[in-house]
Amino acid sequence: MSDAASEIARLRAALAATEARAAAAESELAQTRAMVSTSEAMIKHLRLEIAKLRREQYGHSSERRARLIDQMELQLEELEAAATEDEIAAEKVAKTTTVSGFERRRPARKPFPEHLPRERVVIEAPTSCTCCGSDRIVKMGEDITETLDVIPRQWKVIQTVREKFTCRQCEKISQPPAPFHPTPRGWAGPNLLAMILFEKFGQHQPLNRQAERYAKEGVEISLSTLADQVGACAVALAPVHALIRAHVLEAARLHGDDTTVPLLAKGGTQTARLWTYVRDDRPFGGGSPPAALFHFSRDRGMANPNRHLAGWQGILQADAYGGYNDLYRTDRDPRPVESALCWSHARRKFFELADIKGNTRKGKPAHDISPVALEAVARIDAIFDIERGINGLTAAERQAVRHQLSRPLIEGLQGWLRAERDRLSKHNPVAKAIDYMFKAERWPAFTRFLDDGRVCLTNNAAERALRGVALGRKSWLFAGSERGGDRAAFMYSLIVTAKMNDVDPQAWLADVLARLPGTTASRVPDLLPWNWKASELRRAA
């Protein structure tokens, strides 16, 4: 029996040692997994920083780079979450075993904003000394740990009471008049209306999804009721939209662009268009506030820009789309619009032929990369470098710098492109990229920026205004009707203009809807985003 007992003891000891080694191995594996996840997140973070720095240094040298940065940020988000999961798992395992220390480097957290309210939760203090038990203890200070939290959305019903009084002498009933409401029947307050509008047109949340979420929060509002309020708000906000439209069309220079919008049609959807015309005088130090005007159309026909800009005259910065050509006719009434074409569009065609990494991803051999396209990109980039240095200067200062620095580069580029074009077949992709700049007498429109300091090198202002529409298309799927498209363009004009003036669109819409019913026509300009922002700053001060 003694031999059997000793053998059992030996086996138990061996089993315990094996379990200990397994636990240590498991802990080390968890720590290694956490370190690998953290390293991957760190590498992705550094790559993202490098991409952003390159974008700042070289500007919009690659339209693809902006999408790449967005993709990298999404990947970084997933890697950070995975690293945290693995780190917590490693900490749980490490509690039972002893392994080498591991600490994950985390970015320094910014302090919480001062304007947020603070709620003090004081932990009950000891009444006696934890060492000797004496009750002769006095407070010498405190340590505060701040935790950011959020209060879920709160709904409330505001009861507006109008008391009635009767006269004991003449028996006449007196009562204060009913208040004005932002929309007829007045069941929805301005903050609720602003939230509905901003979530639909600013956050791309269709009304049916909003209604589902409100129902889960205990407030059932039918889809038709929400749609009724959207239409009522469009009518209420019409005076503000009219002023923004007038402000945009008063500009001597506009950015124009359009994008596709799915429109519900019989048996499916058809491709409609959403157009924007942007006034932005900030690049040449202009004092007028920026604003954007949107229009909706069923197609991309030439009649649409003619209708949108009827009677307007000035410089239109756009791409080389032929639908604008009617505006440039010499016999146009009252006078022709001057064309200023976008160098980003011209550069993009060369870049696609010189994108080594992009062609490699597509499986194309390296020798397919065009040296002419590479040289064209380098020459155009030099012009962009000059533009970044003069952004924000006055029109006269910009023109002087362009005359001294940019004009020689443009003249050299023109001669070089024509010489290279003569050597290429008409079917060569590089030849098509060169023809884009020279056919139909486009070169004067590309070089108009040399003689006018107000003109920008690109049409990026209009593309930025349309970015939200492009991002939201997958959420709202399609415009339900032509009226719905017009209403969307109406609301985009308000929301994008507010954003361009660094104004919170939802807060601005709520205040405007609350004040409009009691505002006279002469005071409506005070509600425009740039004037509203100034009054809010004065009120805060």
What is the reported pLDDT for 17? 84
* Structural domain that includes position 9: 2-94
pLDDT for 291 equals 97
Q: Are strands 173-174 and 268-279 parallel, antiparallel or unpaired?
A: unpaired
Report strand pairing: 315-318 vs 253-265.
parallel
- CA 25 to CA 10: how far, in whole Å? 22
Could you tell me how many residues make up the chain?
541
Residues 6+ apart with CB under 8 A from 204: 468, 471, 472, 475, 476
Task: Indicate the residue among 444, 467, 490 that finishes a domain.
Answer: 467
Residues 446 and 343: their CA atoms lie apart, in Å, by 7
Domain end marker among 418, 449, 467: 467
For the segment 102-127, the average pLDDT, to the nearest whole number, is 76
Number of structural domains found in the chain: 2
Cα gap 340→445, rounded to integer Å = 5
Question: Distance between CA 69 and CA 81 in Å, rounded?
Answer: 18
User: Residue 146's CB: how many other CB atoms inside 10 A?
Assistant: 8
Query: Which pLDDT tens digit goes with each residue over 239-293?
Result: 999 999 999 999 999 999 999 888 877 767 788 999 999 999 999 988 899 999 9
CB 293 within 8 Å of CB 312 = no
- pLDDT (mean) for 289-309: 95
| 193, pLDDT greater than 60 | yes
Strands 165-166 and 291-297: unpaired
pLDDT value at position 68?
57
- The pLDDT of residue 504 is 95
The pLDDT tens digits for 391-441 are 999 999 999 999 999 999 999 999 999 999 999 888 888 999 999 999 878
Q: Report the SS3 class of residue 265.
A: strand
Longest Cα–Cα distance of the chain, Å, equals 118
Give the model's pLDDT for residue 30. Answer: 74
Contact call for residues 490 and 294 (beta carbons, < 8 A)? yes
pLDDT at 61: 46
Enumerate the H helices of 237-302 as residue ranges.
238-249
As a whole number, mean pLDDT of residues 438-454 equals 93
Residue 233 covered by a domain: no
Q: Does residue 265 belong to any structural domain of this protein? A: yes
Listed residue (239, 277, 288, 252) closest to 525, CA to CA:
239
Helical ranges in 237-370 per DSSP H = 238-249, 303-308, 343-354, 356-361
Contact assessment for residue 38 and residue 104, using Cβ atoms and an 8 Å cutoff: yes
CB 472 within 8 A of CB 283: no
- What is the per-residue pLDDT for 99? 43
pLDDT band for position 107 (cuts 50, 70, 90) = low
pLDDT single digits (tens) 130-144: 888 888 888 888 888
Q: Does the residue 73 lie in any domain?
A: yes
Query: What whole-number distance in Å separates Cα of residue 391 and Cα of residue 293?
Result: 24
Give the other-Cβ count within 10 Å of 232's Cβ.
17
Residue 295: pLDDT band by 50, 70, 90 thresholds? very high
- Secondary structure in 3-state letters for 411-427: HHHHHHHHHHHHCCCCC
In three-state secondary structure terms, 518 is helix
**pLDDT tops 90 at residue 539:** no
The type of residue at 104 is: R
The Cα-based distances of 334 to 259, 311, 312, 338, 370 in angstroms read 28, 6, 8, 13, 45
Q: What value does the mean pLDDT of the chain take? A: 84
Structure tokens, 525: 């300009």
> Residue 154 domain-assigned?
no
Residue 438 resides in a domain: yes
Of 7-11, 171-175, 199-203, the poorest mean pLDDT is in 7-11
5 vs 388: which has the higher pLDDT: 388
pLDDT tens digit sequence for 359-376: 545 555 544 678 899 899
DSSP tag of 525: G
pLDDT, tens digit (0-9, with 9 covering 90-100), for 25-55: 877 777 777 777 777 666 766 666 666 665 5
Contact predicate 496/292, CB 8 Å: yes
Degrees to nearest 5, angle at CA 375 with 374 and 379: 120
Q: Calculate mean pLDDT across residues 82-94.
A: 65
Choose the most confident range, by mean pLDDT, from 223-227, 240-244, 320-324, 480-484.
240-244
The predicted pLDDT at position 71 comes to: 57
For residue 15, the tally of other CB atoms under 10 A from its CB is 10
Q: How would you classify residue 422: left for phi > 0, otherwise alpha for psi between -120 and 50, otherwise beta?
A: alpha
Predicted pLDDT of residue 97: 46
Last residue of a domain, one of 46, 76, 94: 94
**CA–CA separation, 492 and 484 (whole Å):** 12
Contacts of 446 by beta carbon, 8 Å cutoff, 6+ apart: 341, 343, 346, 437
Tokens representing 160 are 């507006």
Strand partners of residue 173: 166
Within-domain flag for 344:
yes
Amino acid letter for position 396: A
